[in-house]
Amino acid sequence: SRPPINRAARTLVKETLPYPDRFRLAFQGGRVGRWLRGALPGELGAMLDMLPDALPSAEPLPEVYPAQGP
């Protein structure tokens, strides 16, 4: 079994990356939480280090991707 901190990090990634709204919320929380960097265990603190300074603006994705071919 994985250590609890590793499970928490994996769950956080699994529950945020596929969902743009959740990701933006987590991003904002991460920006605020950067001052906690030293208090967090290695893996979670390292995730804060990977946050970009800003996110691109949200754009709706097309519902249909037309086929392209020769």
What DSSP designation does 15 have? H
Specify the residue for token string 């743009």.
Answer: 20
Query: Quick one: tokens of 61?
Result: 């994705």
Spell out the residues 6+ positions from residue 17 whose beta carbon is closer than 8 angstroms to its own. Answer: 23
pLDDT of residue 16: 92
Q: What's the pLDDT tens digit per position in 3-59?
A: 888 898 899 889 998 998 898 998 888 887 777 777 777 777 777 788 888 888 888
Q: How many CB atoms lie within 10 A of CB 56?
A: 6
Spell out the residues 6+ positions from residue 22 whose beta carbon is closer than 8 angstroms to its own. Answer: 15, 16
Q: What is this structure's pTM? A: 0.61
Query: Quick one: tokens of 15?
Result: 């529950």
